[in-house]
């Protein structure tokens, strides 16, 4: 992940450009930095409380502890009655209506951050079916503790903080899925999908499946019975990203898992992720992550600078 912290569409202000839904990307200021951020609505930036509908390419969890207004995710809107949790999955459309005095913490992370718990991706997308999850007294207490621990660990950057963050986030996701309001949402029938949305959902299931890292855009289109052009349009409209970008993400994600959790050689990891040429795999991995497979496995590719993302607002243009 490189470049600016947000890609808010065509306009510098982040407002809709008039030619489509704004889509925001969580990127980090240097190669191999942590694809995770947590902060207040103020420190994360004005896009954290945007009043216009927009999509993300990343996950967002909002722990709302104060404020009034409504939060709308896709077609579901709920009045704010803090404390509660909001989950927004990549590709979902959301915005805040008449929101004033918002207080709490905003947690941002990509699918790639779920390296140790990939099944959490499906849980998070299920949680995103509700605009808010109510927090009864006991749940409000453990949620506040977990969010405070996440923020403290993130700010400290102490040795091993990235693994602690992943573990704390996993606990938050699992416990949120147990809440009565989450179970009620899971029991509700899903809204009918349009044809493009269905194709995009099937594509995501395919590339995130056991053999997803070995697929190409063409083989995915053939498996789904559509043309490459139609697949590209459907996936871009639903997620804000191209099929090629998502396949590259899946390949990197699987390569990282294999490098960290197995003793496979780099050549074997390359083959498992769809690369016949180990040298090309190494170039691909370095281009996508900023480090080599060997350095990533040894841990020497970890960032040794400030890992924190201060805002998801577009940085001001240079004078």
pLDDT of residue 27: 55
For the record, the structure tokens of 133 come out as 């999850």
Q: Are residues 103 and 30 in the same domain?
A: yes
- For 270, other C-beta atoms within 10 Å of its C-beta total 24
Q: Do 179 and 75 belong to one domain?
A: yes
Region 10-17: mean pLDDT is 36
Residue 133 belongs to some domain of the structure: yes
**Length of the chain counted residue by residue:** 319
Q: Which residue has the higher pLDDT, 241 or 193?
A: 241
Q: Residue 169 corresponds to which tokens in the numbers above?
A: 């986030």
pLDDT of residue 166: 94
Which residues does 180 contact at the CB level (< 8 Å), separation at least 6? Answer: 134, 136
User: Would you say residue 314 lies in a domain?
Assistant: no
- Do 173 and 217 sit in the same domain of this protein? no
pLDDT tens digits, one per residue of 54-98: 888 789 999 999 999 999 987 688 899 999 999 998 878 888 999
- Beta-bridged to residue 38, according to DSSP, are 107
Identify the residue whose tokens are 């909002």: 62
Statement to judge: residues 120 and 230 lie in one domain: no
Do residues 177 and 218 share a domain? no
The answer to whether residues 254 and 153 belong to one domain is no
Q: Give domain status of residue 249, yes or no.
A: yes
- Which among 242, 234, 255 is positioned nearest to 216, based on CA atoms? 242
pLDDT of 212 reads 63
Beta-strand runs (E) in the chain: 23-24, 36-39, 54-56, 59-73, 76-79, 84-88, 93-109, 133-134
Task: Determine how many CB atoms are found less than 10 A away from the CB of residue 199.
Answer: 23
Residue 211 scores a pLDDT above 70: no
Say whether both 51 and 148 belong to one domain: yes
152/143 Cα distance (integer angstroms): 14
Domain that holds residue 269: 195-298
Average of per-residue pLDDT across 178-205: 68
Distances (CA, A) of 239 to 85, 97, 140: 23, 23, 32
124 and 229 fall within a common domain: no
Overall number of domains in the chain: 2
Tens-digit pLDDT profile for residues 112-159: 788 888 889 889 988 988 878 989 999 999 999 999 999 999 998 888
**Same domain assignment for residues 252 and 231:** yes
Q: How high is the pLDDT of residue 140? A: 95
In a domain, 2, yes or no: no
Token pair in block for residue 111? 């699918």
**219 domain residue, yes or no:** yes
Look up the CATH number of the domain holding residue 168: 2.60.120.280
> Do 106 and 211 have their domain in common?
no
Q: Considering the domain boundaries, does residue 6 fall inside one?
A: no
Q: What is the dihedral of CA 172, 144, 28, 235, to 10 degrees?
A: 50
Choose one of 187, 211, 235: the last residue of a domain: 187
pLDDT tens, position by position, 187-197 = 454 454 457 77
Tell me how far the alpha carbon of residue 196 is from its chain's centroid: 21
pLDDT at residue 129, rounded to an integer: 81
Domain end residue (candidates: 187, 203, 224): 187
> Of all residues in the chain, what percent carry a pLDDT higher than 90?
33
Verify that 106 and 244 share a domain, yes or no: no
Query: Of 161, 187, 213, which residue constitutes the final position of a domain?
Result: 187
pLDDT number for residue 86: 94
pLDDT at 228 over 80: yes
Q: Are 147 and 155 in contact (CB under 8 A)?
A: no
Q: What are phi and psi of 140, to 5 degrees?
A: -60, -35
Half-sphere exposure of 127 (CA within 13 A, CB side): 28
Q: What are phi and psi of 146, to 5 degrees?
A: -65, -45
What percentage of the chain has pLDDT greater than the value 70?
78
For residue 64, what are the β-bridge partners?
Answer: 84, 104
Band of pLDDT at residue 304, cut at 50, 70 and 90: very low
Mean pLDDT of the chain: 79
Question: The domain that contains 293 carries what CATH number?
Answer: 1.10.10.60
pLDDT of 301 over the 70 cut: no
pLDDT band for 317, please (50, 70, 90 cuts).
Answer: very low
């Amino acid at each position: 992940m490189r470049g600016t912290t947000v890609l808010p569409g065509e306009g510098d202000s982040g407002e809709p450009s008039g030619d489509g839904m704004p889509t925001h990307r969580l990127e980090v200021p240097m190669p191999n930095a942590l694809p995770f951020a947590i902060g207040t609505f103020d420190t994360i930036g004005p896009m954290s409380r945007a009043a216009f509908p927009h999509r993300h390419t990343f996950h967002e969890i909002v722990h709302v502890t104060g404020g009034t207004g409504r939060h709308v995710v896709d077609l579901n809107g709920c009045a704010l009655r803090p404390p509660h949790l909001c989950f927004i999955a990549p590709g979902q459309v959301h915005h805040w209506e008449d929101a004033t005095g918002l207080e709490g913490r905003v947690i941002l992370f990509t699918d790639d951050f779920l390296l140790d718990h990939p099944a959490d991706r499906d849980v998070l997308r299920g949680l995103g079916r509700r605009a808010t999850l109510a927090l009864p007294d006991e749940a409000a207490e453990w949620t506040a503790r977990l969010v405070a621990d996440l923020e403290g660990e993130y700010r400290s950057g102490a040795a091993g903080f990235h693994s602690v963050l992943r573990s704390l986030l996993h606990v938050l996701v699992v416990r949120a899925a147990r809440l009565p309001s989450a179970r009620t949402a899971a029991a509700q029938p899903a809204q009918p999908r349009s044809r493009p949305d269905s194709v995009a959902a099937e594509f995501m299931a395919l590339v995130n499946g056991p053999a997803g890292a070995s697929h190409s855009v063409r083989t995915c289109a053939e498996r789904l019975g559509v043309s490459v052009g139609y697949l590209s349009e459907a996936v871009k409209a639903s997620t804000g990203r191209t099929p090629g970008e998502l396949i590259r993400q899946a390949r990197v994600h699987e390569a990282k898992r294999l490098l960290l959790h197995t003793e496979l050689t780099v050549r074997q990891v390359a083959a498992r992720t769809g690369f016949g040429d180990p040298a090309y795999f190494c170039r691909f991995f370095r281009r996508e992550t900023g480090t080599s497979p060997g350095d990533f496995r040894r841990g020497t590719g970890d960032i040794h600078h400030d890992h924190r993302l201060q805002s998801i607002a577009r940085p001001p243009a240079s004078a």
